Amino acid sequence: METPNTDQPRSEAQPLIAEYERTLRTTRALSDATVRNYVADLAPFQQYLDGQSCPLGSDAKELRDFVRRNGETNVSREYRSLVRDYVAWLLERRAVESGRAAGNRGHSRASVHRMLASLRSFMRYLIERGFLPDAPLWRPRSTLMGRLTPKLERRLPDLVSVAEATRLVEAPSRSDDGENRLRDAALLELLYGCGLRVSEAANLDRENVSLEERTVRVWGKGAKERQTPLGAKAKNALKAYLNSENTPDDKRGPLFRNARGERLGARSIQRIVRNYAKRSGLREDVHPHTLRHSYATHLLNGGADLRIVQELLGHSTPSATQVYTHVSQQEARRVYLAAHPLAHAPAPEHQDSE
């Protein structure tokens, strides 16, 4: 395949992507944020197709003509070549977001994984609509796609200790920001005490919280609903916040609001966490997901069952939760080496047999 020319007009694939977006919004139980992410991850693919002689960038009629001319074997080869070159292009080219150059480095391997998953979903849509021929590469759990996808470096979750997490969630009580102190205390208690994603916390409404039942109804990824238990401290923080004079009386509106009475956004929540982390003497890169990682790890360290932690986090499969067991095992080893009297005992001397 030729090197893509990013100065060419937009790809012919764009109308198909727009139709795909409409289909996602009307036929699948996905949140607006998830749909936006799916579509945004296809933007580099559009740029890749622009200006090169790849039949997948042509309109539907030309694609069907191409299939008739070449047959299934060559189509499969074309797919493989497309993905291989696209992956190399993503890893090597400048990262582009929202149409603007964002640096002189390629996309990370994690980003490439996500973009390929979005591309596979889009290609399955085109295949099911009859725009493209099917091929094993685009089928679920394709081993070929696995070989073409760059391997991810195994990274352990970013954590804070129990003492650090406690210091962070108690920081609003020491704050001189009287107007937002109760809101921020309730927010931090939910992020760490319930392990919420930042988007889940931002999307909470008043009616999602039941102080009587001590539960929070959360909508996670893929618009999946789950009930999360409220600990005593989180319940008390929420009760104080909801009963405060600064909290609007609207029982169905956003749970967390900014100074204008609007829903507190994800970026604002991230800034709040960073601000209190700095005040608490924690490192500057602490973010809401750090609290979620810590929530899961601290549960496992306390003896919680992996399956229960999976349910609490809203993970679809145990594999997504499995990484926390590795962190928990590392912590167990650290505690053992620090505390057990025989952890550093010298090896016994061998005695000669008589």
Question: Tens of pLDDT along 67-77?
Answer: 556 665 677 77
pTM for the full model? Answer: 0.61
The region of weakest confidence among 107-111, 142-146, 279-283 is 107-111
Q: Is 260 part of the annotated catalytic residue set?
A: no
Instruction: Indicate if 135 and 168 belong to the same structural domain.
Output: no
Side chain identity at 326, as an amino acid letter? H
pLDDT tier, 62 (very low <50, low <70, confident <90, very high otherwise) = low
Measured CA to CA, the distance from residue 35 to residue 125 in angstroms comes to 14
Residue 194 lies in a domain: yes
Instruction: Indicate if 184 and 246 belong to the same structural domain.
Output: yes
Q: Which domain holds residue 309?
A: 162-339
Question: Which percentage of the chain shows pLDDT scores above 90?
Answer: 29
The mean pLDDT value for 324-335 works out to: 67
- Number of structural domains (the chain) is 2
pLDDT for 255 equals: 93
pLDDT for 97 equals: 42
For the chain, what is the mean pLDDT?
A: 79
pLDDT for 64 equals: 59
Please pick, among 181, 287, 298, 315, the residue that the annotation labels catalytic. 315
Q: Is 324 part of the annotated catalytic residue set?
A: yes
Q: Is 344 part of the annotated catalytic residue set?
A: no
The region of weakest confidence among 51-55, 111-115, 176-180 is 51-55
Instruction: Indicate if 176 and 74 belong to the same structural domain.
Output: no
Please pick, among 109, 113, 120, 289, the residue that the annotation labels catalytic. 289
Q: Is the pLDDT of residue 96 over 50?
A: no
Q: Is the pLDDT of residue 348 over 80?
A: no
11: alpha, beta or left? (left if phi > 0; alpha if psi -120 to 50): beta
Measured CA to CA, the distance from residue 43 to residue 10 in angstroms comes to 10
Please pick, among 107, 292, 293, 298, the residue that the annotation labels catalytic. 292
Domain finish residue from 126, 148, 170: 148
Q: Which residues contact 9 (CB under 8 A, 6 or more apart)?
A: 50
Question: Tens of pLDDT along 296-313?
Answer: 889 888 888 888 888 888
Q: Is the pLDDT of residue 29 over 80?
A: no
Domain finish residue from 118, 148, 178: 148
pLDDT for 155 equals: 64
Measured CA to CA, the distance from residue 120 to residue 123 in angstroms comes to 5
Sign of the C-alpha dihedral, residues 160, 164, 168, 170?
Answer: positive
pLDDT tier, 156 (very low <50, low <70, confident <90, very high otherwise) = low
Q: Is the pLDDT of residue 103 over 80?
A: no
Please pick, among 48, 86, 295, 324, the residue that the annotation labels catalytic. 324
CATH of the domain at 308: 1.10.443.10
Q: Is the pLDDT of residue 179 over 80?
A: no
The DSSP secondary structure of 92-153, one letter per residue, reads HSPPEETTEE--SS---HHHHHHHHHHHHHHHHHHHHTTSS---GGGSTT-HHHHHHSPPPP
Instruction: Indicate if 75 and 130 belong to the same structural domain.
Output: yes
Q: Which residues contact 283 (CB under 8 A, 6 or more apart)?
A: 277
Please pick, among 181, 183, 197, 293, the residue that the annotation labels catalytic. 197
Instruction: Indicate if 181 and 84 belong to the same structural domain.
Output: no
pLDDT for 72 equals: 59
Question: Tens of pLDDT along 213-240?
Answer: 999 999 887 778 899 999 999 999 999 9
Instruction: Label residue 5 exposed, middle or buried (CB < 10 Å: 0-12, 13-18, 19+).
Output: exposed
Q: Is 289 part of the annotated catalytic residue set?
A: yes
pLDDT tier, 267 (very low <50, low <70, confident <90, very high otherwise) = very high
Judged by DSSP in three states, 205 sits in strand
DSSP 55: G
Domain finish residue from 148, 182, 212: 148
Side chain identity at 239, as an amino acid letter? K
Residue 72 lies in a domain: yes
Please pick, among 139, 221, 239, 263, the residue that the annotation labels catalytic. 221
pLDDT for 343 equals: 59
Are 158 and 293 in contact by the 8 Å Cβ rule? The answer is yes
Q: Is 221 part of the annotated catalytic residue set?
A: yes
